[in-house]
Structure 1
Amino acid sequence: MASIHNRIRTIIINGGLLLSFASGFAQEIQAVKEEATVKIDSLYREDQFFFSFTYNTLQNKPADFSQSKFATGFSAGFVRDMPIVKDRTVAIASGLGFTYNNYNQNLAITGTNELPVYNIVDTDTYSKSKFSQLFIDVPLEVRWRTSTYQSYKFWRIYGGVKLSYLLYNKSVFNGDSGNTTLTNNKDFNKLVYGLYLAVGNNSINVYTYYGLNPIFKNGTQVDGQNLSVQALNMGLIFYIL
């Protein structure tokens, strides 16, 4: 009889220990889950890769200056997101990127790299007249969005200033008077800057950039007029986490 009592006591003690261990283990799992939830929320950022396609136009054009054909641009880069409010719907961001722009127009750029010459010509006197530019960009933007760490589909309004340094430029003119290709024209501004705005939902957004300073340096003239054209680029921008 004593042996039976001892066995029952042993079973009860072992069962209690097992229940105590199971309870403690469940509490540890719950604590880990809560910690993970807090950790995910605390690290939530909209760090993103982006790329855009734009239609490029020029503003503040001199008399008789006109654009022809469809001029396009492309940009890509990465931005680091830094939330500034508790729910992370407002943030500032900065990063690094590259932009390649094309412009087609009736501005003939001839001469040499050291001494370029500018003329506005009739559209029926040439087959190609364009210049292209490659920039390295540093954007600085303010961000508003409706995102959470559980959802990547949200509305956004991102806007700011973009500083761009000219790495390379090329102009091509093929006309009745001959063909000319110039590279690294010294008359292009090395540093340009402008305002931009991106508005949309999820990955696809409408994008606009307006240059605040001219593409060409002060003093660059065509037919006695200052060549003070500024960029206006409109298109779509895509964000990828």
Structure 2
Amino acid sequence: MIRFSLILVLFIYSSSLSAQYEVENEGLYSRFRPGIGWFYSGLKPFEEGKLHKYDRLILDVVYNDWYGDKDYFASPPTSIGFNAALMFDVVLTKGNTMSFGWGVGYSHYSNKSNLQFFRDLVNKTTLTSDFPVGLEPKSSKFGANYIEIPLELRFRTKGHSHFKFMIGGKIGYQLNAYSKETNRVDGKNYSTKQYNFADSNPLRYGATVRIGIRNWAIYGAYYFSPLFTDSGSADLTPISMGVSISLF
């Protein structure tokens, strides 16, 4: 009986939600609030004519690669990372066909390329090489975590199920960076990590783009900041591409 009651409540609520959107698409703006920030840009309340706001909590699942010393798309397909961003949608037109997005985000970069990383703490450089043939580990990875500020100029068609195109960029601060190797010895896995790269670049900045429909989009990020700053270090600059979902 309790389960039946919960299902009935959810059905009524979802029907009400759909009806609210139908009313809005007819040009009548309701007071329904489907998420945080529906009435606010982060600075001041919006007019009732600018209540449509989207893409405020965005999650990205991405393939991570890098360029420089390595060719594009040379990283394994298992080099999967993710981003999360909480953003304000600052509406610039009444139909929200154009807006400005800004907020704060978190990013995890993960590249499972078969590279060894060597830290030269004396010369403050970071070098890489391929593992010797026959001595490859079970797995290897370079990872980094960032706090970021994303900025986007957003274009949309009218309506609830709209087409969208967003172009912008983001700047981030590196929380940590590490390399990890996993070897199998006597039937057991043993992992080792290296931190504290002497010339690890604390900043990451680049351009981003999203193209999609309503909640879903294809995402790409092209960074201009290398992972290591010394001219004698490995030349590796990240790129990412994947799929985005906007939860509200």
AA in 2 matched with 1:203 = N
Distance (Å, rounded) in 1 between the aligned partners of 2:100 and 2:214: 19
Cα distance in 2, alignment partners of residues 117 and 188 from structure 1: 8
- AA at the equivalent of 2:224: L
Question: Matched residues in 2 for 1:52 and 1:144: separation?
Answer: 19
- TM-score (normalizing by structure 1): 0.71
The one-letter amino acid of 1:195's match is A
Residue 173 (structure 2) pairs with residue 162 (structure 1): no
Equivalent position of 2:239 in the other structure: 232
Structure 2 partner of 1:79: 87
Superposition pairs of residues 34-49 of structure 1, within 5 angstroms: 40-46=48-54, 48-49=56-57
Of 135, 153, 170 in structure 2, the residue corresponding to residue 142 of structure 1 is 153
Determine helix, strand or coil for the equivalent of 1:41.
Answer: helix
RMSD across aligned C-alpha pairs, in angstroms?
3.0
Q: Which secondary structure does the structure 2 equivalent of 1:126 belong to?
A: coil
Say which structure is richer in helix.
1
User: Would you say 1:98 and 2:109 are equivalent positions?
Assistant: no
Over 6 Å off, 4+ runs: 112-116
Aligned 8 A contact 2:64 2:75 in 1: no
CA spacing shift, 1:61–1:112, aligned 2, 3 Å: closer
Q: CA deviation at 1:216?
A: 1.4
- Residues of 2 paired with 1:76 and 1:36: CA distance? 29
Give runs of aligned pairs for residues 26-65 of structure 1, distance below 5 A: 40-46=48-54, 48-61=56-69
Identical amino acids, percent of aligned pairs: 22
Gaps of 5+ in 1: 1-33, 222-226
Partner amino acid, structure 2, of 1:215: L
Does the 8 Å contact 1:113/1:184 carry over to 2?
no
State yes or no: 1:196 paired with 2:223.
no
Separation of aligned partners in 2, 1:130 and 1:35: 50
Deviations 1:151-200 (A, max 9, x none): 2x211001101101101122113579x97421242322100101110000
The TM-score normalised by the length of structure 2 is 0.69
Q: Whose Rg is larger?
A: 1
In the comparison of the two structures, how many residue pairs are matched? 197
